Structure 1
């Protein structure tokens, strides 16, 4: 697992949204769950705490550098 990045997709309680901009994110290692605030591609500000809200994230492929 890794921290989330723009382009990753969040699935939670029937809502599916793509991250456009991350405003705040707690490192994955601290809880082994995602805690973040972000704007999606529709401009909606969202807060997602995976341990409380449930759901999962689809991580986009990272291009080799």
Structure 2
């Protein structure tokens, strides 16, 4: 989901509601007009038992199965 006024990090509410340990929680932040400069924060996290761990995000041109 997106955050328009804060960094791309799970909120306390999101952490408390995270119930799927296999999920990748992807967040995008467009705070402070960053989207206008093309500097968008795009991050992915795993949330297991309220422990937040950031994952590496790689942007690729094409994904072959």
TM range (shorter): under 0.3
Judging by fraction of residues, say which structure has more strand: 1
Judging by fraction of residues, say which structure has more helix: 2
Which has the higher Rg, Structure 1 or Structure 2?
2
Which TM-score applies when normalising by structure 1?
A: 0.26
